[in-house]
Amino acid sequence: MKFKDYYKILGVSKNASDAEIKKAYRKLARKYHPDVNPNDKEAEKKFKEINEANEVLGNPENRKKYDKYGEHWKHAEEYEKAQQHQKQYQHAGGQQYYSGGFTDDDFSDFFSSMFGGGFSGGGFSGGGRNVKFRGQDFHAELQLNLSDVFKTQKHTINVNGKKIRLTIPAGVENGQEIKIKGYGGEGVNGGPKGDLYIKFNIINDTPFKRDKNNLYLNVDLDLYKAVLGGDIMINTMDGKVKLKVKPETQNGTKVKLRGKGFPVYKQKGVFGDLYVTYNVKIPTNLTEKEKALFKELAKLRK
Amino acid sequence: MSTKDIISIHQFCSLYDVPDTFVDELSNFELIELIDYENEKYIYKHRIKDLERIVHLRFDLNINPEGIDVISHLLERINQMQEEINKLKNRLALYE
C-alpha cells in the first residue's frame, strides 16, 4: 500500500486554506468529471483520486488526522484503537455514511485503511454513479477473434455475477459497441434498470485484412503460372476456392471475388467481397540450365 | 404513448432533489423535450440518462444552461470524432 499525497493530488500547499482546497478541488473536478470525459478511463481514475483527496482535505477532522500521521499513517490504526478504548469512542471506524453511490472500489487501500472506507458525500455525486431512479449503466468489453465473428454466435458473459446470454450477429466490427437494454444496474424508487454496453475488441487471427465488409489477401504466385496462366487454390473465410490465373498476369494484379468477403452486420446472407492481390515470386537459386534458358528467353526479347 | 414510458417532471425533480424550475430552464434552452399530458409536464424515460448528465453538470459543476448547451454540443462532436477515429484505426490496420 502506497502513501497518498492528497495535497499533491489537489495541487495545493500543506498550509492551504479550506477555501483554497475547495477551489482547487472544484477546478480539477470540472476537468475530470466523467460526464465531460466520456469513455475516458484515465479521467475517471483521476476523478476518483481527487474526490478521495477532497474527502480527506475538505473535511477538517479527516484533514487533521491525515496531517497528524502523515507518512507514518500505518501506525494510525493502532493509535486510534488505543484511543478508542480510552475514550469510549462514539463513532465507530468505517461508519456507513451517505455513500453518494460510491463503492469500496472507488477508494484506494490507503484511504480505506486510514478512514475505514466510508464516504461523507460532501462533494459530488460521482458522475452518474449515484442511483436515484434509473439504474446505472454497465460497460463491458468482449474480446473475440475475427474468425469467430464470421458467423453469428451465442456467448454467455458474466457481468457483476450475473450470467447473460448474448447473440452476437456476424459481421460485428472492431471497436463497435452494442447496447443491451435493461441489463444494467437496478433502478430505485420504481425507476428503470440501466443498460449494458458491450464493446467488441476483435483480434485478427486470419491472414486476411478487413475493411468493413471487404477482405484483402496477398497471394504468392510463381513466375511460370503468372506467365503461362493456370489454376491456383486459395483460402477464403469459407473454405478453399479455385482461381483461374490469366496468362501474363502482372505482379500486383488485383482480382475481386464477389461475395467472398465478410458478412454484412445484421443483413443475413449479404457478404462483402474478397480482393486477392498477386505477388509474383521470382525463382531463386537458379541452376546453370535455368540460367541458360532465361538468357535464351532474354535474347528473344531483344 | 404509454405512461410507462414517461415520468412527470415533478416526480423527476423530487427524486433528483432539484427545483422544478430547473427543467423549465432546460426546456427554454431546448436542452430537453417536454411532453404535455393531462395538464402535466413529462419527459420520456429513455431521456433520463441525458437529464441525469445535465443535473450533474448543473449542480455538481455549477455550470449554467448556456454552458451546458455548449458542453452538450462538444460532447456530441467528441462522440462523432471517437467513432471516426475507430473507423480510421480499423482502416489503418489494412496497411500495417
pLDDT tens digit sequence for A165-206: 999 999 999 999 999 999 999 999 888 899 999 999 999 999
Which CATH number goes with the domain that contains B76?
Answer: 1.10.1660.10
- The mean predicted confidence, pLDDT, of chain B is 90
> Residue A101: pLDDT band by 50, 70, 90 thresholds?
very low
Nearest Cα neighbor of A273 from A293, A298, A249, A254 is A254
Q: How confident is the model at residue A102 (pLDDT cuts 50, 70, 90)?
A: very low
DSSP B43-66: EEGGGHHHHHHHHIIIIIS---HH
Cβ <8 Å between A33 and B62? no
B46 has a pLDDT exceeding 70: yes
Predicted confidence (pLDDT) per residue in A13-41, tens digit: 999 999 999 999 999 999 999 899 988 88
pLDDT of residue A80: 58
Q: Give the pLDDT band of residue A132 (cuts 50, 70, 90).
A: confident
Are B79 and A38 a contacting pair at CB < 8 A? yes
Residue type, position A292, single letter: A
Instruction: Choose between A76 and A7: higher pLDDT.
Output: A7
- Percentage of chain A modeled with pLDDT above 90: 62
- The number of distinct structural domains making up chain B is 1
Confidence of residue A288 (pLDDT cuts 50, 70, 90): very high
> For residue A121, what pLDDT band results from cuts at 50, 70 and 90?
very low
Supply the pLDDT for residue A105.
Answer: 57
A154, β-bridge pairs: A167
Q: What is the pLDDT of residue A33?
A: 92
CA atoms within 13 A on the CB side of A220: 5
Domains in chain A, CATH or no CATH each: 6-115 (1.10.287.110), 138-203 (2.60.260.20), 209-300 (2.60.260.20)
Question: And the C-alpha cell for A291?
Answer: 540460367
- Put simply, the answer to whether A134 touches B48 (Cβ < 8 Å) is yes
Strands (E), A20-135: none
Q: What is the ipTM of this complex?
A: 0.84
Q: Which region among A93-97, B20-24, B67-71, B85-89 has the lowest average model confidence (pLDDT)? A: A93-97
Q: How many CB atoms lie within 10 A of CB B30?
A: 8
Rounded to whole angstroms, the Cα distance separating B65 from B68 reads 5
Which of B2, B17, B60 to mutate to probe the A interface, most A CBs <10 Å? B60
pLDDT, tens digit, 9 for 90 and up, residues B55-82: 999 998 999 999 999 999 999 999 999 9
B77 at the A interface (CB within 8 A)? no
- The per-residue pLDDT for A126 is 42
- Model confidence band, residue A74 (pLDDT cutoffs 50, 70, 90): low
Report for A75-84, A238-247, B37-46: range of highest mean pLDDT = A238-247
Mean pLDDT, chain A, whole residue set: 85
Query: A103 or B20, which is more confident?
Result: B20
Q: Grade residue A85 by pLDDT with cuts at 50, 70 and 90.
A: low
B81 in contact with A, Cβ within 8 Å: no
Cell of B57: 453538470
Strand B40-44 and strand A254-257: the pairing is unpaired
| A294 has a pLDDT exceeding 90 | yes
The residue that leads in pLDDT, A88 or A116, is A116
Nearest CA in chain A to B95: A209
Average pLDDT over residues A37-50: 90
Domain that holds residue B70: 3-95
**A124 interfacial to chain B (CB closer than 8 Å):** yes
Q: Which of residues 51-70 of B touch A (CB under 8 A)?
A: 52-53, 56-57, 60-63
Q: What residues 125-154 of chain A have any CB closer than 8 A to a CB of chain B?
A: 125, 127-128, 132-134, 137
Query: Could you tell me which of A193, A279, A268 has the C-alpha nearest to residue B48?
Result: A193
* B41: pLDDT strictly greater than 60: yes
Please, what is the Cα angle at B72 between B68 and B73, to 5 degrees?
Answer: 120
Q: What is the DSSP string of A154-208?
A: EEEEEETTEEEEEEE-TTPPTT-EEEETT-SPPPSTTPPP--EEEEEEEE--SS-
Pairwise CB contact (< 8 Å): B17 & A132: yes
Per-residue confidence (pLDDT) for residue A82, from 0 to 100: 59
Average confidence (pLDDT) over A215-241: 96
On the question of pLDDT at A128 being above 90, the answer is no
Q: What is the pLDDT of residue A131?
A: 80
